[in-house]
C-alpha cells in the first residue's frame, strides 16, 4: 500500500509528491510548522490527505506543547488550528478534520485534567481520522464500482487516488479499484492536469504501480477522445461539495464536465461524506485558491512564458450540479436533486463513525 502520510514515533512521515514520478522520497516532519508548510507547498495534496495531515499536525503540535495546564495546552492548540486553517482554502476536509480535533479536545477536557492523557487522545483522534479514511474509500469504491461496466474506460482528471488520501484505494480511483476488485476489467484515461500535473505524474504513477491500464492525455485532448467514443464515463474526486451538489475540484474539471454532457457521457463525482459541506449552499460560496504564477510559467526550473507577462493560476473550479450524474460517497450514491439526497446521506450516522 502507498503510504501517503503516516504517524510514527519520530514525527509525521510523508511521501514528497512534488518529486514523483522520478523520485520516491519520504520526508520526516517533526513539527506542526513543517506539516503546515508541506500542505502549502503540496508535498502532500488531495482533499482527504490534507485533512489527515492537518489532524496529525495538530496532534504533533499539541504533543510538543510545553504547557503544564489544560488551559496552556488549549491555548497552543488554538494557535496551531489557526496555522493549519491558513494553509489551503478550498478543500473542506481540512476544516472538517480541524473541527474533529477541536471536538476531541473538548471531549477529553471534560473527562480528564491530565495534560499527557489529553495529548494522547489527540494522537488517537488523528489516527482514527487516518483509519476511517481508508475504510471510507473502500466503501465508496464498492458503491461506485457497481456503476462501472465490465470493459469500461474511465476518464479522470487530477489525482484522486491513494496519493490524495491516506493511501490504499483513493476516491475516484477507489471507484476504479472497486470495479476491478469486483472482477471487472477497467482502463483509465488520465488527463495530464496542468499546471501541477497531478494526472501525468501521480495518477499514472500509482495506477502503473498497481498494473491498472492507464493512458495519459494532455488536458486539451479530452474532447477529441470523447468524440472518438473512447470514454465510457468520467469519475473525478472533489475538494468541496456544496449542499446543492455544486462541486469544487481541480481546475479543468468543469471543462471536462461540459464536454461529457456534450457527448452524453455520465460524469460522476466520488468523495467521502466529509467532503460534503452542508453549510455552503452553492458553489458560488466556495473559496477558490489562487496559487503562485510560477506553477504556470515554469515546469520545475524550465521557463515557459515570457518574463513579466500576466498570469492567473486558479487551483480549482466549480462544476454545477446539473452536469453531475451522481455523487458517490462512502454512505451510498446520491442522485439529483442533491439538496435532498446529500443532506439525507450526510445526516445518516456512518457505519464507522466514532
Ligand atoms: O491541488 P490538489 O492536488 O490538492 O487538488 C486535488 C484535487 O483537486 C483532487 O481531485 C481532489 O482533492 C480529490 S482528492 C481525493
Q: Report the number of distinct structural domains present in the chain.
A: 2
Ligand 1 atom at shortest distance from the alpha carbon of 289:
1
257 and 154 inside one domain = yes
Domain boundary (102, 137, 172) is at 137
Predicted local distance difference test score (pLDDT) of residue 269: 98
Domain that holds residue 234: 139-346
243 part of a folded domain: yes
CATH code of 210's domain? 3.40.50.10470
CA-wise closest residue to 276 among 234, 219, 324: 324
pLDDT at 350: 61
158 Cα: distance to centroid of ligand 1 (angstroms): 7
Q: How far is the CA of 110 from the centre of ligand 1 (A)?
A: 36
Q: Please tell me the predicted confidence (pLDDT) of residue 1.
A: 83
Quick one: 174 and 308 in the same domain?
Answer: yes
Q: Do 287 and 153 have their domain in common? A: yes
SS3 assignment, position 274: helix
Distance in Å from the first CA to the final CA of the chain:
24
Verify that 93 and 203 share a domain, yes or no: no
Q: What is the CATH number of the domain that holds 51?
A: 1.20.120.420
Among the listed residues 191, 239, 246, 330, the single catalytic one is 239
Q: Does some domain include residue 96?
A: yes
From the CA of 165, give the closest atom in ligand 1.
15
Q: How far is the CA of 323 from the centre of ligand 1 (A)?
A: 19
Pure H helices in the chain:
32-40, 47-63, 70-85, 92-111, 115-145, 172-181, 204-209, 222-227, 253-262, 294-297, 338-346
State in Å: Cα 91 to ligand 1 middle.
8
* Sign (positive or negative) of CA dihedral 12, 17, 21, 23: negative
Q: How far is the CA of 249 from the centre of ligand 1 (A)?
A: 6
DSSP 242-259: ETTS-EEEETTHHHHHHH
pLDDT at 277: 98
Both 293 and 341 in one domain: the answer is yes
Contacts of 124 (CB under 8 A, 6+ apart): none
325 lies in the same domain as 180: yes
Atom of ligand 1 lying closest to residue 198 CA: 3
310 vs 237: CA distance, rounded Å: 30
- Residue 40 pairs in a beta bridge with none
Q: Which of 45, 162, 287, 318 to mutate to test the pocket of ligand 1 (most atoms within 8 A of CB)?
A: 45
Residues 254, 318: contact at Cβ < 8 Å? yes
Residue 181 appears among annotated catalytic residues: no
Within-domain flag for 196 = yes
Please report, in tens digits, the pLDDT of each residue of the chain (354 residues total): 889 999 999 999 999 999 999 999 999 999 999 999 999 999 999 999 999 999 999 999 999 999 899 999 999 999 999 999 999 999 999 999 999 999 999 999 999 999 999 999 999 999 999 999 999 999 999 999 999 999 999 999 999 999 999 999 999 999 999 999 999 999 999 999 999 999 999 999 999 999 999 999 999 999 999 999 999 999 999 999 999 999 999 999 999 999 999 999 999 999 999 999 999 999 999 999 999 999 999 998 999 999 999 999 999 999 999 999 999 999 999 999 999 999 999 998 664 443
Same domain, 221 and 342: yes
Contact present, 159 and 202 (Cβ < 8 Å): yes
Q: Which of 39, 238, 254, 295 to mutate to test the pocket of ligand 1 (most atoms within 8 A of CB)?
A: 238
Predicted pLDDT at 93: 98
The last residue of a domain, from among 90, 110, 137: 137
Q: Assess whether 130 and 145 both reside in one domain.
A: no
**What residue's CA is closest to ligand 1, atom 6?**
46
Mutate to test the pocket of ligand 1, among 18, 43, 92, 164 (most ligand atoms within 8 A of CB): 164
Nearest CA to ligand 1 atom 15: 160
Q: Kindly state whether residues 225 and 301 are assigned to the same domain.
A: yes
Q: Among 112, 137, 162, where does a domain finish?
A: 137
User: Does residue 147 share a domain with residue 133?
Assistant: no
Residue 196: strand, helix, or coil: coil
Structural domain contains residue 352: no
Q: How far is the CA of 72 from the centre of ligand 1 (A)?
A: 35
Residue 133's contacts (CB-CB under 8 Å, 6 or more residues apart) are: 48, 51, 52, 165, 166, 272
Residue 121 within a domain:
yes
Residues 121 and 177 in one domain: no
Pocket of ligand 1 (CB under 6 A): 45-48, 91, 158, 160, 164-165, 171, 198, 237-239, 249-250, 315
**What's the pLDDT at 353?**
46
| 116 touches 65 (CB < 8 A) | no
Same domain, yes or no: 56 and 14: yes
Residue 313 lies in a domain: yes
Could you tell me if residue 354 is inside a domain? no
Q: Is 353 a member of any domain?
A: no
Ligand 1 nearest-atom number relative to CA 91: 12
**Ligand 1 atom having least distance to the Cα of 316:** 8
Please state the separation of Cα 100 from the chain's center in Å: 17
Amino acid at each position: 500500500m502507498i503510504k501517503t502520510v503516516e504517524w510514527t514515533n519520530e514525527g509525521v512521515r510523508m511521501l514528497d509528491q512534488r518529486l514523483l514520478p522520478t523520485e520516491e522520497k519520504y520526508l520526516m516532519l517533526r513539527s506542526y510548522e513543517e506539516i503546515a508548510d508541506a500542505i502549502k507547498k503540496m508535498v502532500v495534496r488531495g482533499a482527504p490527505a490534507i485533512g489527515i495531515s492537518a489532524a496529525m499536525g495538530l496532534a504533533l503540535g499539541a504533543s510538543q506543547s510545553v504547557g503544564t495546564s489544560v488551559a496552556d495546552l488549549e491555548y497552543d492548540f488554538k494557535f496551531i488550528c489557526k496555522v493549519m486553517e491558513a494553509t489551503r482554502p478550498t478543500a473542506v476536509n481540512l476544516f472538517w478534520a480541524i473541527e474533529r480535533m477541536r471536538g476531541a479536545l473538548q471531549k477529553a477536557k471534560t473527562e480528564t485534567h491530565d495534560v499527557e492523557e489529553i495529548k494522547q487522545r489527540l494522537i488517537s483522534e488523528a489516527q482514527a481520522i487516518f483509519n476511517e479514511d481508508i475504510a471510507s474509500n473502500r466503501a465508496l469504491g464498492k458503491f461506485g464500482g457497481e456503476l462501472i461496466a465490465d470493459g469500461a474506460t474511465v476518464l479522470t482528471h487530477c489525482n484522486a487516488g491513494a496519493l490524495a488520501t491516506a493511501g490504499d484505494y483513493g476516491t475516484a480511483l477507489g471507484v476504479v479499484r472497486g470495479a476491478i476488485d469486483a472482477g471487472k476489467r477497467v482502463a483509465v484515461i488520465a488527463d495530464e492536469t496542468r499546471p501541477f500535473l497531478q494526472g501525468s505524474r501521480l495518477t499514472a504513477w500509482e495506477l502503473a504501480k498497481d498494473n491498472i491500464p492507464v493512458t495519459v492525455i494532455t488536458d486539451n485532448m479530452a474532447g477529441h477522445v470523447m468524440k472518438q467514443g473512447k470514454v465510457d464515463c468520467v469519475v473525478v474526486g472533489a475538494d468541496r461539495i456544496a449542499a446543492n451538489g455544486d462541486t469544487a475540484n481541480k481546475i479543468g474539471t468543469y471543462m471536462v464536465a461540459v464536454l461529457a454532457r456534450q457527448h452524453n457521457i455520465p460524469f460522476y463525482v466520488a468523495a467521502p461524506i466529509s467532503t460534503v459541506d452542508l453549510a455552503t449552499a452553492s458553489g458560488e460560496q466556495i473559496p477558490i485558491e489562487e496559487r503562485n504564477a510560477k506553477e504556470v510559467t515554469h515546469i520545475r526550473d524550465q521557463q515557459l512564458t515570457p518574463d513579466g507577462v500576466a498570469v492567473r493560476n486558479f487551483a480549482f473550479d466549480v462544476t454545477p450540479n446539473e452536469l453531475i450524474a451522481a455523487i458517490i460517497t462512502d454512505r451510498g450514491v446520491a442522485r439529483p436533486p442533491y439538496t435532498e439526497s446529500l443532506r439525507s446521506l450526510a445526516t445518516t450516522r456512518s457505519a464507522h463513525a466514532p
